A and B are shown apart, each in its own frame.
Chain A
Amino acid sequence: MSDKYLILGSGIAGFSAASAIRREDPSADITMVGAENEKTYLRPLLSKTDFARFRKNNIYAAKDNWYEENRINLIKGRCVTEIDRDKHIVKLDDGTVRPYKKCIYALGASCFVPPIPGKDKKSVLTLRTVRDFHNLRRKAMTAERAVFIGGGIIGMEMAWELHKMGIHCTILEAAPRLMARQLDEEASERLRSHIEGIDIECHTGVQISELTGEEAVTGVRLLDGRTFPAEIVVLSTGVRPVIIPAKESGIQCDRGVLADEYLVTSDPDILTAGDCVQCSIPNPGLWKFAKVSGDTAGYNAVHTDDMRLFRVGNFPVILTAMGIGLFASGSTQEEDGIIAEVSCFSHSEDQNHMFRVNHNECGMQTYRKSFYRDGKLCGIVLMGDISEMRNVPVTF
């Protein structure tokens, strides 16, 4: 009888795990359970596709027949209610029971909604799933003003998209600066002044008092009394790993599901992958991490005697929005022992390559900040034309 593999989660981590299992074990019985009513899709495209031109059929990771050809049983729209590790079964919310020999826990993460009074009002949105995207797009049709709480990548990409539609956007960030984790103070300030220059309001270090309005949201009030009227409020305040089913079944969890360097959890028959992993490599919640971890977990589920170490390179942050490019990689904070070197150049100096047409909007100036530790490059920030990232080493 063929081995039963059960993959919890149908995101890219689950999808990669399923592909890896099928590659390594052609006779395996593979089942994938997803909470969303969708096949696996490429989540980053939700915030990168033009609003008006978005078509759901364009974003799937594989065609319908891929699941048939690879004999992968996909169960859509079902949540995991219990993992019974002793009996090797998983119970779903429709009462069905799924047995497994090896289970891959790849339930990912969900949007973190801060406990702000009024967060349950209508038109207070998050962006994580296709459904969220459709909600946001529908509301954006009639809105005139939008407030984004959280100045991370998703918030900025969405603000830029709505700005292009003629909606007045305001970004509110609780941290003292934008993209505080990825950028140092100077680069962040530069980004801010650029964003303000294109008429997107930006307020940092704010404390939100409440979201106003009766049934639907009408604006955001800060603790200092300032108010920002808005028909849409988008919360992009980060994500939290989904750990409840794992925790309740006794698998060791902290912030995420704890795993060793082979992505095996405290239960040797359960591996983990994707945004819910907590291992020796810090989880950035980025696509590459999810994809590589899914592939490794799938491989290790089949080859239990010859497991592969989970290894993944660095995770540069790339943002193509707000009319510029932004690239940050490595250690990009000014600390003791780090020497920073700044250079700025305008594009008119680059006359040599006349045929090279960069269709990305990149502004008139490029800013580069290199960070050195003990004379060795350890991080870099590029803003404007970021094509120089091709010279940045893969690992520092």
Chain B
Amino acid sequence: MATYGFIYDQTRCIGCNACQMACKDGHDLELGLFFRRAESFEITDENGKFQTVHYSGACNHCSAALCAANCPTGAMHKQSDGTIAPDQNMCIGCGTCTWVCPYGAPKLSHVTGRSMKCDACFDRRQEGKQPLCVEACITHCLRFGDLDTLTEEEKSKYTSALPFLPDPKLTKPNLLVLKKEEKNE
């Protein structure tokens, strides 16, 4: 089975929020509900260097997904392409997935009472299209695809460990980030 995930180039991201808005608009999400969020962080590292970075994050369709492992009804499941989504007919809205996901990806809808999350635009991909966030990205810093097609050398340029994200060992996220390096002064 292919391992699908997002590839995100932090060096090119300008934090414009187009991905977030395209996702929210395209899925017609209710007030306060986001599948993808873009945020800007001001980080000071151990050497006292100060840096502003942007990050656009959604569900990472983790290999060891805690949302799916803890779901008491089996509604949250791995789909045929390896991405993870809740089965709307089985979810009882207990909220377990919203608590256990360290990235805060699943959300409880106030309209349906059930869990909702990014499925990397499953329906669009069936039609051969890209997810909405990828299509909307004006700097082309966001991609979605089969991570298994990348060589080890290509993969080695990327990381999924960022200082403001949870430890990747926790869920083995299928996320590759080209990290913004510190500026040499």
Chain A residues engaging chain B, CB cutoff 8 angstroms: 42, 44-45, 48-50, 53-55, 58-62, 287-288, 291, 316, 318, 320, 325, 327, 352-360, 385-387, 389-390
Q: Which residues of A contact B98 (CB under 8 A)?
A: 320, 358-360
Considering only CB atoms, which chain A residue lies closest to B92 in the complex?
Answer: A44
Assembly CA distance A386 to B96 (angstroms): 9
Known: A53-B110, A325-B99, A354-B41. A44 touches B70 (CB 8 A): no
Q: Which 7 pairs of residues, A with B, have the shortest CB-CB distance? A: A49-B113, A354-B164, A390-B100, A44-B92, A48-B93, A320-B95, A50-B110
Interface footprint category on B: 35 or more
Q: Which residues of B contact A60 (CB under 8 A)?
A: 89
Contact with A along B99-128 (1 / 0, CB 8 A): 110111001101111100000000000000
Known: A49-B93, A387-B99. A356 touches B111 (CB 8 A): no
Assembly CA distance A226 to B162 (angstroms): 58
Please state if B94 and A318 are interface contacts (CB–CB under 8 Å). Answer: yes
Assembly CA distance A389 to B162 (angstroms): 24
Chain B residues engaging chain A, CB cutoff 8 angstroms: 32, 37, 39, 41, 55, 57, 66, 70, 72-73, 89-96, 98-100, 102-104, 107-108, 110-114, 162-166
Q: How far is the CB of B94 from chain A (nearest CB, A)?
A: 5
Considering only CB atoms, which chain B residue lies closest to A46 in the complex?
Answer: B113
Other-chain residue from B57, B92, B110, B166 in contact with A42 (beta carbon distance below 8 A): B92
Please state if B113 and A45 are interface contacts (CB–CB under 8 Å). Answer: yes
Please state if B72 and A288 are interface contacts (CB–CB under 8 Å). Answer: yes
Please state if A356 and B102 are interface contacts (CB–CB under 8 Å). Answer: yes
24 A-B contacts, Cβ less than 8 Å apart? A42-B92, A44-B92, A45-B93, A45-B114, A48-B95, A50-B113, A53-B110, A53-B111, A58-B111, A59-B113, A287-B94, A318-B94, A318-B99, A320-B94, A327-B99, A353-B165, A355-B39, A355-B57, A356-B165, A357-B104, A359-B108, A360-B99, A387-B99, A390-B70
Please state if A318 and B100 are interface contacts (CB–CB under 8 Å). Answer: no
Q: How far is the CB of B101 from chain A (nearest CB, A)?
A: 8
Please state if B96 and A389 are interface contacts (CB–CB under 8 Å). Answer: yes
Q: How far is the CB of A317 from chain B (nearest CB, A)?
A: 10
Please state if B92 and A318 are interface contacts (CB–CB under 8 Å). Answer: no
Q: Which residues of A contact B41 (CB under 8 A)?
A: 354-355
Q: How far is the CB of A341 from chain B (nearest CB, A)?
A: 21
Assembly CA distance A108 to B82 (angstroms): 36
Q: Which residues of A contact B165 (CB under 8 A)?
A: 353, 355-356
